[in-house]
Chain A
């Protein structure tokens, strides 16, 4: 299966240097980090080292890092945990949030909480004016993602956080797509809680974190043994956490290269798209350097993705989690993109190891496939 991987916003290959630090924790006899004997203590030390690595990459203090199993869990923890401490107040979240922010909010709605969606403009940028208006009502939490997984659009989190703070609300940002692709500082973003995840930055699946201001009143999602200072019970996944720490260290060291390299690839790619009459979404606003989201009129995104797959290119039609469904991307619909065009959306997300040759090959293949598919549809019509 020697295919070219262009789906780095979904998940990334494990870096071999990350694997190297994980292996001892998978192969050697290791203890439960809660145990007081040396097997337990050395596991505990390894977790604490990883905590400092993650904190460093997030511009946070180690004591602010709460490890979880997945980004989904960290987002659920932030939304449900903060809402639970202020049940009389509303939750605000943007219309382009990942389902693991919007669905917990909707679930809370069913149990009597107030939750309201904030719209985005046609570029995919959150309507700041609407946030301001909504904050007139007592608000427990505002959750807006730092960078969107589909369009790559970067939001002005610091400004929204300032508004939330002035209104007495907590601010959470899902920064899963930001870590390793943008300079990231919990302190500068001025948020109360921030989600980051390991497997998007060449770390293993199974580790993520909620960076949390300790003054935030929050209820745990998982109750039990009291790990992570009582905020997240459950035996720590030592190997994955150690890997996450190392992945953070490498991501930070490589940040500048990653941004310039993937941006170059994207420019080359989007330049090539021009001749294909494709619509590139959110091109006018700040985006993640590695992400290109486009659609071709009259061709289903899913069809194009399958066609590219047969030619050896792994790309996505939207977020992996929703690629089960044939519904058009909720992000594009929120931006006011016509459903027919939205159904044509394909996402390319570059990684550090992609090359200009691969982009050229992709463009050539795309051109060929698009004309072939257009022909098919015109025959059918």
Chain B
């Protein structure tokens, strides 16, 4: 029961700030129960799991296999279908490049969605440089893939499709079953990036028509630096290794496994399996409270479908305020404008643009992501803070003034610089 567990210590920052963490989609804190399970594998059981000749290695290997079982259980897979990686980025790279390269004799066309994470888009682009062709499908304005358009994008030489389960920015849930069935009917290998899905939606790979699925630990209260790739055994999917060496993970992925991290991922996924139903109810209530609070502000727009969406995510555009100044204004809470992975650049979120949002609304979006340790007080504080800061910024905004004066901003001739 999540209420009874101890919250992770909030780091004591030098300036004494303790912002409220509402960026669970960027990364989650490690659950204290996970940390407790990991630490012995850093200290007394430090063996290399590939060392078969002494007990240090055996203990490590056993722990790794237990964790593999826990990961498999959460997603309805066989443990033998789980390959450890250093994280979802590596899983996505391995799945996409590994399957495309292995099956390139069948065809060299790949389908993916413009709102995928960069860790899917960029490997596909890399394959394009190597002679593959790719179709990047735009989702509908609500963020969901239109099944007919997806079907129409399939060509005789389509070898692979990659569609994310839950979007990292807007939290929408794709119809993986339907898309997977289309892939099956057309002999297309189907990869799903589920980094944002574990512990939030039920995943049953025994039933889902999915061939390859990527997982991350640090989005589900596990440690950073570990992930997994599901590789279906029946019917068997083959991938070409992207990292060669000692032949770990049945040759699919070489490199010494970080035992404590794998143990952490196993524990995190066990907790997710046991607690997600209850936790999602609590989180949905908090999200809805936040949504209602923020909707009392004028000119706000929710990005992405609200129904087919994980309860953890709320992505809202505040019209007539600029995104970065908005982030500065809300220092009391830790949130993202767009994906964490692109926030070093000044580009508006490519995900929101793919939904057809104007650059202005894309710029002024904030992703609130709620998690295991979020409280009612956190949400109430956030609503109050947002109201006052949006007021202040709009007071500063020439666009707000024009809007209030009844000027149609779309008709204004802007002096570009």
Contacts and interface: CB of A to CB of B under 8 A. Distances in A.
Task: Assess A/B contact in the complex (Cβ within 8 A).
Answer: yes
Interface of A: 1, 3, 5, 7, 10-14, 16, 19, 22-24, 26-32, 34-40, 42, 68-73, 75-76, 98-100, 103-104, 106-107, 199, 204-207, 221-227, 233-240, 302, 305-306, 309, 314-317, 319-324
Contacts of A68: 86
Contacts of A324: 50, 52, 247
A1 B248 CA distance: 26
A320 B245 CA distance: 12
Q: 10 closest pairs, A vs B, by CB?
A: A237-B225, A321-B246, A100-B245, A224-B119, A225-B341, A69-B86, A206-B258, A223-B122, A72-B255, A234-B89
B411 to A, nearest CB: 34
A19 B86 CA distance: 20
Contacts of A70: 86, 255-256
A32 B27 contact: yes
Given A37-B23, A225-B89, A204 B260 contact: yes
B415 interface: no
A226 B19 CA distance: 27
Nearest to A106: B244
A3 B55 contact: yes
B186 interface: no
Interface in B331-359: 331, 334-336, 339-344
Interface string B114-128: 000111101101100
B26 interface: yes
A42 B242 contact: no
Contacts of A1: 55-56, 59
A71 B256 contact: yes
B42 A14 contact: yes
Interface string B1-22: 0000000111101010101010
A284 to B, nearest CB: 28
A69 B89 contact: no
B332 to A, nearest CB: 10
Given A69-B86, A225-B118, A235 B224 contact: yes
Given A5-B56, A14-B46, A234-B119, A104 B244 contact: yes
Nearest to B127: A223
Contacts of B241: 107
12 contacts: A14-B46, A26-B223, A31-B26, A32-B218, A38-B19, A69-B255, A72-B256, A205-B260, A221-B242, A224-B117, A309-B54, A315-B54
A156 to B, nearest CB: 25
A342 to B, nearest CB: 16
Would you call the interface of chain B mostly helix, strand, loop, or mixed?
loop
Given A205-B257, A309-B53, A235 B123 contact: no
A13 B46 contact: yes
Interface in B88-136: 88-90, 92-93, 117-120, 122-123, 125-126
Indicate the member of A36, A37, A226 with the most B CB atoms within 10 Å: A37
B43 interface: yes
A343 to B, nearest CB: 14
Interface stretch (B29-37, B137-145, B175-183): B29-37
A27 B339 CA distance: 24
Interface string B252-285: 0011111111000000000000000000000000
Given A19-B43, A35-B334, A37-B331, 5 more contacts: A31-B26, A32-B218, A76-B242, A224-B119, A317-B53
B56 A69 contact: no
B245 A75 contact: yes
Interface of B: 8-11, 13, 15, 17, 19, 21, 23, 26-27, 29-30, 32, 35, 38-39, 42-43, 46-48, 50-57, 59, 86-90, 92-93, 117-120, 122-123, 125-126, 216, 218, 223-226, 241-248, 254-261, 327, 331, 334-336, 339-344, 373
A225 B340 CA distance: 9
A366 B50 CA distance: 24
Contacts of B9: 24, 27-29
Contacts of B331: 37-38
B117 A239 contact: no
Contact of B10 (A29, A32, A237): A29
B119 A205 contact: no
Indicate the member of B26, B35, B123 with the most A CB atoms within 10 Å: B26
A226 B344 CA distance: 10
Contacts of B46: 11-14
B122 A233 contact: yes
Given A99-B246, A224-B92, A69 B118 contact: no
Given A19-B42, A28-B8, A42 B13 contact: yes
A295 to B, nearest CB: 15
Contacts of A314: 53-56
Contact of A73 (B11, B86, B327): B86
A239 B223 contact: yes
A52 to B, nearest CB: 19
A26 B38 contact: yes
Contacts of B327: 36-37
A199 B246 CA distance: 16
Given A73-B86, A224-B89, A239-B223, A100 B255 contact: yes
A235 B247 contact: no
B93 A222 contact: yes
A323 B47 CA distance: 14
Given A100-B244, A204-B258, A223-B123, A315 B53 contact: yes
Contacts of A235: 27, 87, 89, 216, 218, 224-225
B19 A39 contact: yes
Contacts of B30: 26-27
B83 to A, nearest CB: 14
A46 to B, nearest CB: 10
Nearest to B12: A28
Contacts of A237: 86-87, 223-226, 261
Indicate the member of A24, A31, A227 with the most B CB atoms within 10 Å: A31
Contacts of A234: 86-90, 119
A205 B256 contact: yes
B16 to A, nearest CB: 11
A238 B89 contact: no
